[in-house]
């Protein structure tokens, strides 16, 4: 069971930056993805095993982001991921990128569970884990 919020450290590499040495805006979306993937892994699920065993995948349907301050090459960042709710096939995450406790980027991400190219409710085992984490009841 992941702690909620879950935290993962990410180092900024040259490939994450633009010509000025600042993190390129799209790199933060990859950082968010890593945070959600590690959150899911802490729940006991891996994307590839879910896809193989149940045909389930996840797709981002909505992403709202506020950029507050830049990160730079070689910075050590912390990506904070928190499940803020779920309903039907949609999971909502609040994600924050911090550097030494200062918020740099704040995001809200809606992820939909999909199977056979259709939105579906996550399988019972995932829902049970979400419920046991004390999240809002699925309706």
State yes or no: is 18 an active-site residue: yes
Contacts 24+ apart (CB under 8 A), 18-22: 21/72, 21/73, 22/70, 22/71, 22/72
Residue 111 pairs in a beta bridge with: 60, 91
C-alpha span between 11 and 110 (Å, rounded): 25
C-alpha span between 118 and 113 (Å, rounded): 8
Q: Are 59 and 111 in contact (CB under 8 A)?
A: yes
Q: Which of 18, 74, 110, 125 is catalytic?
A: 18
Annotated catalytic residues are 18
């Amino acid at each position: 069971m992941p702690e909620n919020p879950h935290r993962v450290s990410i180092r900024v590499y040259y490939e994450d930056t633009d010509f000025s040495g600042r993190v390129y805006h799209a790199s933060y979306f990859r950082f968010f993805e890593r945070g959600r993937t590690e959150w899911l892994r802490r729940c006991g699920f891996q994307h590839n095993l879910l896809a193989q065993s149940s045909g389930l995948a996840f797709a981002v349907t909505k992403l709202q982001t506020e950029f507050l301050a830049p990160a730079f090459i070689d910075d050590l960042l912390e990506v904070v991921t928190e499940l803020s709710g779920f309903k039907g096939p949609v999971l909502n995450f609040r994600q924050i990128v911090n550097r030494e406790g200062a918020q740099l980027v704040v995001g809200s991400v809606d992820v939909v569970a999909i199977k056979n190219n259709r939105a579906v409710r996550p399988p019972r085992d995932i829902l049970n884990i979400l419920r046991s984490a004390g999240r809002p009841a699925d309706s």
